[in-house]
Amino acid sequence: MQKPIAIWLFICCALVLAMVVVGGVTRLTGSGLSIVEWQPLIERFHHSAKLIGKFC
C-alpha cells in the first residue's frame, strides 16, 4: 500500500518542479505572453454602460 502512494507523491513533486522550472525559464527569458492593456473591471463596466445606453 505504501509504494503506490510514494510513486504518486514523487510524480506530483516532479510535476510541481517542472512547473517551477518552466515558469522560471519563461520569466527569465521574457518569452511569456504580453498583455498590453488589461483592465477587466473597467471593460466590464464600460460594456454594461453601452448596453444600458442602447436599451434604455
Q: Are 39 and 33 in contact (CB under 8 A)?
A: no
- Per-residue confidence (pLDDT) for residue 12, from 0 to 100: 98
Domain definitions of the chain by residue range: 2-55
Average pLDDT, whole number, for the chain?
79
Q: For residue 5, which amino acid is it?
A: I
Whether pTM exceeds 0.85: no
Q: Which pLDDT belongs to residue 9?
A: 97
Is 70 exceeded by the pLDDT of residue 51? no
pLDDT of 47 reads 59
Q: Residue 32 contacts by C-beta under 8 Å, 6 or more apart in sequence?
A: 26
Of 5 and 26, the structure prediction assigns the larger pLDDT to 5
